[in-house]
Structure 1
Amino acid sequence: MKKKPLMLALALATHVGMQASAQNAAPSKQVHQDRAFLQDYAVKNTANLSSVHQFSLASDRNGVVQILEGNRLLKPYGGQFQLDGKLVADQTYLPMKDKKVLAIDRYQDQLVYLDDEALFSNAWAGVVYLPHTLVAPTAFAGGKDFTFLAAAKNKLQVLQKGKAPQSLELPAGSEVLDIVYDEAQNQFWILAEKAVYSLSPDGKTPSKVLDGAQLTALAFHPAKNQLVVGTKNGYFTYDIQGKKKSALDQKLPWTEITTVQSDGADLWFGTSLGAFKRDASGAFSYYYGQRWLPGDLVKDLIVQGNQTHVLTDKGLGTIVFEEMTLEQKAAILDKQMRERHIRHGFNSSVDLLEPGNLGSALLTDSDNDGLWTTMYLAGEAFRYAVTKSPEALQNCKESLLAMERLYTVNPVEGFPSRSFERSGYIEQLSDPERWQHASDPEWDWKSTTSSDEAIGHVFVFGVLAEVVDDPWVKAKSIELLDALMTHVVKNDMYLIDFDGKPTLWGKWNPDYVNSFPISVGDRKLNSSNITGMLQTAYHFTGKEMYKEKAYELMDKYGYLENMMRPMSGIGRSGDGSDDWAKMLSDGWNHSDDEMYFVGYWGLYRYAFDEELKAKYKESIVDHWEAERPEKEGLWNIFTAMVQPENFDLEEAVWFLEEHPIDLISWNVKNSHRKDIELLEPNFRNQTTKEVISPSEARIARHNANRFSLDGGNGGKVEYSPGDIWLLPYWMGRYFGVIE
């Protein structure tokens, strides 16, 4: 059905390589040489943590992670990618259970504890044991040569081996929130709610360095020799050498800062709505929602190697950065595809009966089983053409059999069903009123096939017939292509359903197409699609009726003129148009974009002559120019077909690298962010000046608006990578723009 429309922030390890390739016919073709980048994904260990207890999080050089909730030590257990674990009591070291631990931290890559009697560690053979006399201490930090500073409210003590605790204090009412050690200056920085103090290890009195309000977090940033101070409404920095405080920065994903950590040139922030990283260039990567974290409220975070551990009120989320290439990412997503998303050879989504639980997966039918399968099938065809993989060829054959059965399971010659399923389940399938009984009592089939399906079928039949050198695949693809297009031509440019009537969307007849004002996108779209469909049929069958019909539509009925009108002319139908035209033009339809681009394969590659091909290129590039702000990977790769020297290769690679490998439809929210520039409402529904990263957006197919800031399905669906990611990747490989 043609639907009306209702976006791993990646730490890049390398830049996109852009260079001319001597192997390509066009010397100016842009080419990305596949190199390693950092793919992020999450591992979650859940727990409902008390809101009244103090929290600490620390890890050691061995990767041991400990969480302190109140006086209870916890550890993550069992969490894997897409399989949640939990936080359990850490009983590893028996004597710890009798300790009233009040804070934990990392010092020289080891775990250090502070209880009601002493600061101590189980590392260094247990010799670190420094008694204190503080009452209910809550924070400490380690300095040079095992010198520590601990705090309880406004009371401080310097702890050193062989020496009595040295007691100090802040002004009354200045309760210590955090302490960090600055190795460069060899001093401690002490955070209170309204001020930051400094103290050298041998100092007698803390010195106030700066004042503030609602201070919440503190970190020393060695890369810039700065303090980074979080507040309840943004953060600021303090230049230690210049003794200069910056303005408060509030253009952030969220401004209520709970914790800050420095990691080389990058800064990590925990907030009351997730965590974010700010790199040296100032760019943000936002980790919010259940794709990344078990809870929204971040209590603490630490960076350890290629992992960032984020403690939330609902458990621990570990963001892993794994080095891989696009080819390796393709293998991961192909494994997901084959293990979970094949239904009768179709490319299918799965419903999750328990949100996020892949063990509860249920394969489901779709209005567009045929369309989504054509997109996956085309990707496998390109994969086979590039690699000659026997597995890819077998995948093509299995899915092509499913495509063939769409035609044979129903009684209408040349008519493709939307889907088919075993009988007896109609009421449990989507849109049960559209299902019909097949002549075989074991099966039912879905009617009301749309133009989305038809253009997808023609696209993949052309791809298979052109690029897969297998006799059966070629012959079967051409046979099905001919059957479909014969049906359309003989039925006066309509898809005729089992009831003898045109389907709602399967209409390319001039009486329908030209009934719309020129501003209504369907007039341009249907003209473009049917021309490409007829050209494809003629190219592979040689039947003159297809060529004659295409020229008749272009010359007599203005279809060439329709498709050559610029995208800038698409808009609302205006006064005097009927309700149908008004509905079709109430906003930009991203399903139309998908139909255009898959149709461009047959429109451009199988053009009747070079003059038409040049015109088609002009139309395609005009459309691409309108789409460029979305940085849509597939549209950019499609444009390489007609303009390989300029198709936004960097943006296409950005899409492929930044796209999550977790395709569960977790809810996402970005409309609250302070770092994005919102636009006024507009016809294209472009909400922001710059599109957000795929890792921060909802999981969506190519027919969705990439500027949608919020969305998701509560973790109740896992989308297939077959059409979303594998198609643009393997098409890019086939065109030679990704090598």
Structure 2
Amino acid sequence: MKFFLYSLLLISFHLPAQKAGDQKFIQEVVKIHTSREGLPDGSIDRISILNGVPVAETSAQILQFKSGSWTGITRGKSEPAPELPAIPGAKILSVVPYKGGLAIGCTQGLYFYSDVKKLERVFPQNEKYSWLLRNVNALTTDSRGRLWFGATEGVGYLDGDTWKLFTGKEGLPYNKFTSAAAGPDGMVWFGTEKGAIEVENDYFKYRFSRRWLPGDHVNGIAVGTDGTAWIATDKGVSQISRVSMSLEDKAKVFTKQVEERHNRMGFVAHSHLKEQFNPASSELAISDNDGMYTSMYGAANAFRYAATGDPEAKALADRSFKACKWLVDISHEKGFPARVIIPVDWPEKVNETHSRADNLENQKRDPMWKDIYPRFPKSKDGKYYWKCDTSSDELAGHFFFYGVYYDLVAKTEEEKQAVREVVGDIMDHLIRHGYKLVDHDGKVTRWGDFSPEYFSSVYGYDQRGLNSMNMLSFLNVAKHVTGNPKYDQEARILRNKYQYHIYAMHPKEFFPPENVVPWDNNICLMGMYGLINYETDPALLLMYRQSLETAWQHISKQKNAFWDAIYASLANRFTKLADQKYFENKGLFPENRLYAPKVVSKLYKGNHNPDFILENLQKIPLDLIGYTMDNTHRLDVIIDSSPMQSEHVGWRTDGYALPIDERGHVRQDRDGFALLASEGDGHDEHEGTFYLLPYYMAHYHGLLGK
């Protein structure tokens, strides 16, 4: 039976390549124009496009953009303003030609002024709304002849005799308008006092913060025939271009980005920007979890190699494996993985930064903080420092990568044996120390306790679901990679004596909020991948499938391509097993004969939307700089009012997290529901792994369509 299931695993690991990665989509790309490109400092009051050339205006000068820079030009003769009627008690705010006359927006509403000088007040209404408009600051007609307005009540357009109206409930993010402009194919842009809004096919995209604009107060917008939006703000001009590219094109961009700016001796992590917002000023940095992030990059290239056969992918996966194995080989004791390795001449004085005094200071806010020194011991050869106090994050990354690398990349016996050795070393360290990561001080690390005693303590009860599941996952990976039956025996002890498999059915915390951290989602799903893929017992598979669904309930609404890809691949595998009658006639759970058929029936198919993976991958910005973004003011957001929850957590009115290009992080190990977030405030660039891993994993598992 085991041979049959392993054969099934290998078959599922070699799905035919598909062409979804080559299909074109529109990627929006931002260029910020400030004094560096020749604009004056301060506000740009107006912008237009004359004969295909962008023209920016201030109170003092007019500039045009040619050959990559802005240069001053002479102010031409302006067009005479149209003759406007007097509207008693109202201030005119916006005017646009419409049907031979004018549409006029004012403080008191919307008016049509016909070519025969007739003034008519307009009251937009449909089956849901009837509006007496106020502060109609924005008007435009689109390429399909529809009249659009932006007012205090919301946004709407008149198509023939029919009004379509939008508030926050329909996706409108903000309503303090300053301007509007039309683009090709019915596209419309609105300027607001806090950002710009792009509307395409009745869907609203919110473009604000330094990710999209130099300043949030938008004074004007002009849209070129190619759809490029030129946005004048209080701090310069933003150029948002529409570039046709494929997912594979995007992957090449991010692979290049990682290799040029995020590869430190084979380790992959974010980089620091010496000049805020400027990737050209990038310098290599270290994270707290280099092992985790290098594992993720290695796994991305393992899936890439399996899906495409690209020799570059194998070389990068091999390099990542050697780096991760080095983390294990360098430490004080066989099988203990370091977090980070840096040369001794690293510019940051790490052991001065992480001093004993610093440890004691940290313990004031976190009594469980580990007082260990040095936090960066020196390697035996004296050439490197390695960071200790390794956590469960690192282990989850290592074991996830090693299983994938062993199955998809390691071809020769020498390559496979290297994987067996490192997996065996780590697993044996954990077993030898009673399921604990034990540091150079002889004590367990802060987040490295997987022992039964810890799970029974007041300090560890909330970790037992996640850590029990992960320990069983690590043992499954070790059993699969090494073939050593002792790891099966250890897992059996943990299940039969300590109920780890029961704990694992609640694989992560959901409440209270202080116990819920987004990287636990990463740890959980990565652990699930090895746990389920390498399990052969049908009873355990049913339990683990139920555990996966429990974890998924909170994660499913975040539109995270990595988590979605893991869930979908495992759910699809369960469907295949059920189709092959793998759970039938086995006498499973005789004390409750309804359990097995109920799980198979209820969880037969995955509860996911396959389109969300593609959506997330397409929306990941090419610019992976971390910006501060505050979405708490949005009209299309519902604030989470759960007890003890932060006021900075919420979701769109459709129940899903904001799109990744509208929130304050681009990493796929963060909380998609965080409305106020900062990933370095422009001083960090994050590695392209957060696109590459979900893309190639989804590509390999056939999750991107055909």
Q: TM-score range by the shorter chain?
A: 0.7 to 0.9
The match for 2:624 is 663
What secondary structure does 1:641 align onto? helix
C-alpha separation in 2, matches of 1:401 and 1:606: 23
Instruction: List per-residue Cα deviations over 1:616-659 (Å, max 9, x = no partner).
Output: 22221232233211122112111123222534211222211122
> Aligned match of 1:302 in 214, 222, 238?
222
Which residue in the other structure is 2:611 paired with? 650
Q: Separation in 1 of the partners of 2:519 and 2:238?
A: 35
Partners of 1:176 and 1:274 lie apart in 2 by 23
| SS at structure 1 position matched to 2:315 | helix
- The DSSP-based 3-state class of the residue aligned with 1:321 is strand
Matched residue, 1:591 = 519
Cα separation, partners in 2 of 1:229 and 1:734, compared to 1, 3 Å:
closer
CA contact (8 A) 1:349 1:363 kept: yes
The separation in 2 between residues aligned to 1:171 and 1:640, in whole angstroms, is 60
Determine the C-alpha separation between the residues in 1 that align with 2:488 and 2:334. Answer: 22
1:710-729 equivalences in 2 (<5 Å): 710-712=676-678, 713-722=680-689, 724-729=690-695
Provide the rounded CA distance (Å) in 2 between the counterparts of 1:693 and 1:290.
Answer: 16
Q: Retained in 2: the 8 A contact 1:306–1:322? A: no
For the pair 1:693 / 2:659, whether they are aligned, the reply is yes
Q: Deviations over 1:52-105 (max 9, x none)?
A: x883321145x31111222521134677xxxxxx6x3334xxxxx3x4x4xxxx
Distance 1:591 1:325, change over 3 A: same
Residue matched to 2:567: 639
Aligned to 2:96: 180
1:530 lines up with 2:471 in the alignment: yes
Q: Who is 1:292 aligned against?
A: 212
Alpha-carbon distance in structure 2 between the residues aligned to 1:200 and 1:527: 74
Q: Distance in 1 between matches of 2:44 and 2:520?
A: 53
Instruction: For 2:46 and 2:159, locate their aligned partners in 1 and report how far apart those are by CA, in whole Å.
Output: 27
TM-superposed CA distance for 1:562, in Å, is: 1.0
User: Could you say which residue in structure 1 is the equivalent of 2:367?
Assistant: none
SS of 1:643 mapped into structure 2: helix
After superposition, the Cα gap between the structure-2 partners of 1:658 and 1:32, relative to the gap in structure 1 and judged at 3 Å, is farther
Partner of 1:65: 54
Mark the CA change 1:358 to 1:443 in structure 2 (over 3 Å): closer, same or farther: same
Q: Percent identity?
A: 28
Query: Would the alpha carbon gap of residues 173 and 415 (structure 1) be closer, same or farther in structure 2, given more than 3 Å must change?
Result: same
Shift of 1:235: 4.0
Provide the secondary structure at the position in 1 that maps to 2:638: coil
Q: Secondary structure, in 3 states, of the residue corresponding to 1:677?
A: strand
Alpha-carbon distance change, 406 to 56 in structure 1, aligned in 2, over 3 angstroms: same
Counterparts of 1:513-662 in structure 2 under 5 Å? Answer: 513-515=455-457, 520-565=461-506, 571-572=511-512, 586-644=514-572, 646=606, 647-662=608-623
Using a 3 Å threshold, how does the CA distance of structure 1 residues 280 and 411 change in structure 2: closer, same or farther? closer
Q: Does 1:512 align with 2:454?
A: yes
| One-letter amino acid of the structure 1 residue matched with residue 609 of structure 2 | D
Q: Which of these residues, 327, 343, 346, is aligned with residue 406 of structure 1?
A: 327
Cα distance, 1:503–1:530 mapped onto 2, change above 3 Å = same
Residues 123-147 of structure 1 show CA distances to partners (whole Å, capped at 9, x for unaligned) of xxxxxxxxxxxxxxxxxxxxxxxxx
Q: Secondary structure at the match of 1:436?
A: coil
Q: Residue in 2 aligned with 1:75?
A: 64
Query: What whole-Å deviation, never above 9, does each CA across 1:26-46 have from its counterpart, x for those lacking one?
Result: 9x9999944322111211111
Query: Which stretch of structure 1 is more off in the superposition, 416-425 or 682-691?
Result: 682-691
Kindly indicate whether residue 32 of structure 2 is the aligned counterpart of residue 44 of structure 1: yes
- How far, CA to CA, are the matches of 1:50 and 1:590 in structure 2? 40
Are the aligned partners of 2:462 and 2:515 in contact in 1 as well (CA < 8 Å)? no
Alignment partner, residue 150 of structure 2: 230
1:391-431: per-residue Cα shift (whole Å, max 9, x none)? 11111122222112212222311111111111143754496
2:354 to 404, 411, 432: 432
The alpha-carbon deviation at position 347 of structure 1 amounts to 1.0
Partner of 1:110: none
Counterparts of 2:323 and 2:67, CA distance in 1: 39
5+ residue gaps, structure 1, are 1-23, 80-85, 92-96, 102-112, 120-149, 158-167, 573-584
CA contact under 8 A between 1:307 and 1:321: conserved in structure 2? Answer: yes
Cα distance, 1:44–1:512 mapped onto 2, change above 3 Å: same
Q: Are 2:200 and 1:279 aligned?
A: yes
Query: Structure 2 length as normaliser, TM-score?
Result: 0.80
Partner of 1:256: 176
TM-score, length-scaled by structure 1: 0.77
Write out per-residue CA displacement over residues 287-337 of structure 1, whole angstroms, 9 at most, x where no aligned residue.
000110111110111222231111111111111121222222212211211
Partner of 2:4: none
Deviation of the 1:680 alpha carbon: 0.9
CA contact (8 A) 2:137 2:150 kept: yes
Which consecutive unaligned segments of at least 5 residues does structure 2 have? Answer: 1-10, 123-131, 356-374, 573-604
Measured at CA, do residues 353 and 225 of structure 1 come closer, stay the same or move farther in structure 2, by a change above 3 Å? closer
Change in 2 beyond 3 A, CA 1:549/1:319: same
After superposition, residues 110-121 of structure 1 pair within 5 angstroms as: 114=78, 119=79
Tell me the equivalent position of 1:358.
279
Deviations 1:649-708 (A, max 9, x none): 112222111221211001112100112222313578752233110010112433321100
Q: Tell me, yes or no, if the aligned pair for 1:230 and 1:257 is still in contact at 8 Å.
A: yes
Q: 1:395 to 1:171 in 2, by over 3 A?
A: closer
Distance 1:260 1:618, change over 3 A: same
Post-superposition offset of 1:248:
8.8
Q: Any conservation in 2 of the 1:45–1:77 contact (CA below 8 Å)?
A: no
Query: 2:442 corresponds to which residue?
Result: 500
Is this contact kept in 2: 1:57–1:67, CA < 8 A? yes
- Take 1:529 and 1:461, find their aligned partners in 2: how far apart are those partners? 14
Change (3 A) 1:701 1:272: same
Please name the residue that 2:72 is paired with: 90
Aligned mate of 1:382, from 299, 303, 318: 303
Is 1:441 matched up with 2:382?
A: yes
Cα pair 1:170 1:206 within 8 Å, conserved: no
Change in 2 beyond 3 A, CA 1:350/1:222:
closer
Distance of 1:683 and 1:612 partners within structure 2: 35
Q: Distance in 2 between matches of 1:635 and 1:714?
A: 25
| Pairwise CA distance, 1:565 | 4.0
Output the CA distance in 2 between the equivalents of 1:461 and 1:250.
Answer: 46
* Higher percent of residues as helix: 2
Cα distance per residue 1:147-171 (max 9 Å; x no partner): xxx32xxxx46xxxxxxxxxx7646
Q: Is the 8 A contact 2:139 2:150 kept in 1?
A: yes
Equivalent residue, structure 2, for 1:372: 293
2:446 aligned partner, one-letter code: L
Q: Whole-Å Cα distance in 2 between the matches of residues 44 and 382 of structure 1? A: 35
In the aligned structure 1, how far is the partner of 2:266 from the partner of 2:257? 15
Task: Work out whether 1:339 is the aligned partner of 2:257.
Answer: no
**Matched AA of 2:199:** R
Q: Within 5 Å, give how 1:1-20 maps onto structure 2.
A: none
**Corresponding residue of 1:328:** 249
User: For residues 520-553 of structure 1, what are the alpha-carbon distances to aligned partners after superposition, in whole Å with 9 as ceiling and x for unaligned?
Assistant: 5411111111111112112221223211111000
| Partner Cα separation in structure 1 for residue 383 and residue 187 of structure 2 | 60
Find the counterpart in structure 2 of residue 133 from structure 1: none
Contact 1:258–1:272 (Cα < 8 Å) also in 2:
yes
8 Å contact from structure 1 (residues 31, 737) kept in 2: no
Describe the shift of the 1:419–1:206 C-alpha distance in structure 2 as closer, same or farther (beyond 3 A): same
Structure 1 CA distance for aligned equivalents of residues 41 and 133 of structure 2? 29
SS of the residue corresponding to residue 627 of structure 2 reads coil
